[in-house]
Structures are given as C-alpha cells and as structure tokens.
Amino acid sequence: MSNPKAKNRFRKTNLLSIALLFVLILAGGVVRSTGSGMGCPDWPKCFGQYIPPTDVTDLPTGYKDKYVAGRLAKNQRFANTLDVFGYSDLAKRLREDKSILIPEEFNVARTWTEYGNRLIGALSGIFLLLTAVYSFSYRDASKLIPYLSVFNLVLIAFQAWLGSIVVSSNLVAWIITVHLLIALAILAICITTYHLAKVAGRPKLRVNPVTHIVTFLSLAITLLQITFGTEVREKIDAVSNRLQGGYRSEWIKNAGDIFAHHRDLAVFVLVINLLLFGLIRRAFSRHSLQQQIMSFSFLIIMLQIVTGIILSYLALPPYAQALHILLASLIFGAQYYLMLNLYRSVNIHGGGR
C-alpha cells in the first residue's frame, strides 16, 4: 500500500544525505589541504577520547609509542589481507614504509580539523542509515531503491574501515585515492535512489543516442581527471616531504608528468562539455531540467579551472585545494544526475523537443 508521507520522508532524507556527502567531501579536502589527516592518530576515538584534547597536557602518557604500535599491528593485518588477494607488492610496500614508525606530534588545530571531519562523517552515516530504513516505503514501486540503499550501508561500513586504514597507514597515497573514489560511489548511489524515487512511474525519454554516449564519456573523463588529481596530490606530498615543507613554490615544478597530464586533460574536459552543452540545447527546451543541470555543470567547470590556475600560480593555497576537490565532486554529481535524467526525467516538462 502506498504511503505518500513515508515516501516524502525518504526523498527528503535522501536529499539531505546527498548534501551532507558534499559537505563531507569538502571537509575531507580541508583535512587533506591543511595536513590534518593525522591530527587524530587513532580511530574511531581521537587520542583515546570521544572528545579530543585541547592541550598537550591532556594527552595520555606514552601516547606516541602506543599509537605507533597500534598502527604497526593494524598495518600488518591489512598487509596479510592484501597477500590473500594477490597484492603482494602493495603488502610489501606497506610493511617497508618507515614513515609509519614516525609518531605524529600533537597539533590542536589539526586535531580538531580532523575531529570535525569525523563528526560530519558520523552525521552522514546516520542520515544514510535513515535513508536505508525509509527506502522500504518504495519497495512496491521500485525494489531497486531499498536494495541500493542497503548496499550503500555496506559501502559505508567498508569506507569507515578504510578510513581507519588511512589513519594507521600514515596516509599511504593509494589508499587515499581509493577512499575518495568510494566516497563518489556512495554519492552516486544516493543520487540514483533519489532519482528513482522522483521518476517512479514516468515514461522513458526518447533522446539521441549520441547525447547518451557523450554524457557517459564526459562522466568517465571527469572520474579520470579526479583520479589524476589525487595522484598529483600524492606526488606533491612526496615533494613536500622531501623538501621538509619548504620551498612551496617549487612543489608543482617537481610533481612530474602526472601534473602535465592532469592539466592537459582539463582542456579535454572543457571541450567535451562544450559539445555536450550544444547537444543538450538542441534536444531540450530552455526551461528543462536537463538544460539547468548542464548550465550548472558548465559553471562549476569554469570555477574548477579558476581554482586550478590559482593552485598552479599561487603555490597551492589550502583554501583552493579544498575548493578544487569540492568542485570536482559537484561536477561528477551533476553529470551523473544529468545522465539519469536523459532516461527518465524528474521534470515532467523536460522532454526532448
């Protein structure tokens, strides 16, 4: 039996979850850009406390040795897991990573930055749990909605575990990349369930296959660009460590070919989205949702290019790094939502011309 109130509650909770995920990605970008990832050396607590300390005198005795030993034990278990799945080279690199043995010095600003990130993550998890519970109000209209919502909880649990590995491995680069990509997968599932709820019972649109193909390609290139971006950051972190945090203006120059690939791909992102913009304008009316999403995407792409220029020429200011990550996730979310709305539209009047 249909329950309009329950369905409306699901849609609102789902939409709030999407908004919180974007806030969480921004918070993660702030943590990354300010070097606060190890502000809490343990997980899920912070220095063994649910509310972190504000002064070095509040720290537990021998905390450095304690957390280094804990990280070593967790990394050994993780390396053993990698061996089981055939990733012996990665396991070996993790075991031989000497940076894990270096204890993190207490910094109250970094500790509370990381703690804020964890609070937003916990709030996002609560809303995603509520979304999964409320999703069963749609089990008659679309069984995919509850299935995907529950599967998202599995992904969230894995993401939380991976977050603990990110901390214990002292921010090993490739794990951070995987962590971000899984966050985008969780976001995509939330957008999918929200869209399915909004278009339940509506007919499919008739759209030129070329538009579908170009939309998919633009989304795939955006994901590739995001991956390149995380690899650029990894290279810059390595340069920063080698230069002991100094000579900031030299970091990008020493990042290697991956930065050039990331910069060149940005031009391709712009070109393919110009093509997509033309296709959407030809296929849909000016007031259609599809055109609104495409216009929003294009605006965010231009802002993304601006932040990229700022990062390149102003020695990687932290605020621009955080905005760069947020804008990339907004582009991904908008392009993905556009792709969904080319099959069935949320806007009843958004059909093709």
Summary mean pLDDT of the chain: 85
* pLDDT more than 90, % of the chain: 44
Q: What is the pLDDT of residue 100?
A: 72
Instruction: Give 74's pLDDT tier (boundaries 50, 70, 90).
Output: confident
Given a cut of 50, is residue 353 above it in pLDDT? Answer: no
Q: Which residues contact 111 (CB under 8 A, 6 or more apart)?
A: 36, 39, 40, 46, 47, 52, 53
Residue burial 174-199, b: 16+ Cβ < 10 Å; e: rest: ebbbebbebbbebbbbbbbbbbbbbb
- Domains within the chain, CATH numbers bracketed: 1-201 (no CATH), 203-353 (1.20.120)
Q: What percent of the chain clears pLDDT 70, i.e. is strictly above it?
A: 90
Question: Which of 89-103, 180-194, 262-276 is modeled with the greatest confidence?
Answer: 180-194
Residue range 46-58, pLDDT digits in tens: 888 888 888 888 8
Sign of the CA dihedral 90, 95, 99, 102? positive
Query: Cα torsion for 183, 67, 242, 161, to the nearest 10°?
Result: -10
pLDDT of residue 102: 73
Q: What is the mean pLDDT of residues 267-287?
A: 92
pLDDT in tens, 125-148: 999 999 999 999 998 888 899 999
pLDDT (0 to 100) of residue 172 = 60
Mean pLDDT of 187-214: 92
Judge whether residue 333 has pLDDT over 90.
yes
What is the pLDDT at residue 197? 94
Residue appearing with tokens 């299935």: 147
* Euclidean distance between CA atoms 8 and 4, whole angstroms: 6
User: What is the model's pLDDT at position 168?
Assistant: 65
Contact 313, 306 (CB under 8 A): no
CA-nearest of 301, 304, 342, 345 to 323 is 304
What is the rounded distance in angstroms from the CA atom of residue 243 to the CA atom of residue 201? 59
Higher pLDDT, 148 or 6: 148
Q: What is the structure's pLDDT at 5?
A: 87
Give 139-178 pLDDT, tens digit per residue. Answer: 888 889 999 999 999 999 888 888 777 766 655 667 778 8
State which of 7-21, 176-190, 253-267 shows the largest mean pLDDT: 7-21
Q: What is the mean pLDDT of residues 8-18?
A: 96
Q: Please determine, for residue 45, whether its predicted confidence score (pLDDT) is greater than 50.
A: yes
Q: Which pLDDT score is estimated for 220?
A: 95
pLDDT > 70? residue 40 = yes
Give the pLDDT of residue 240: 67
Per-residue confidence band for 231, with pLDDT thresholds at 50, 70 and 90? confident
pLDDT band at 84 (very low <50, low <70, confident <90, very high): confident
- pLDDT band for position 1 (50/70/90)? very low
Res. 351: pLDDT tops 60? no
- What separation in angstroms does the CA of 323 have from each of 13, 21, 225, 307? 25, 15, 15, 7
Three-class HEC string of the chain:
CCCHHHHHHHHHHHHHHHHHHHHHHHHHHHHHHCCCCCCCCCCCCECCECCCCCCHHHCCCCHHHHHHHHHHHHHHHHHHHHHHCCCHHHHHHHHHCHHHHCCCCCCHHHHHHHHHHHHHHHHHHHHHHHHHHHHHHHCCCCCHHHHHHHHHHHHHHHHHHHHHHHHHCCCCHHHHHHHHHHHHHHHHHHHHHHHHHHHCCCCCCCCCHHHHHHHHHHHHHHHHHHHHHHHHHHHHHHHHHHCCCCCHHHCHHHCCHHHHHHHHHHHHHHHHHHHHHHHHHHHECCCCHHHHHHHHHHHHHHHHHHHHHHHHHCCCCHHHHHHHHHHHHHHHHHHHHHHHHCCCCCCCCCCEC
Count CA atoms within 13 Å of residue 176 on its CB side: 24
pLDDT of res. 217: 95
What pLDDT is stored for residue 150 in this prediction?
A: 96
pLDDT at 271 over 70: yes
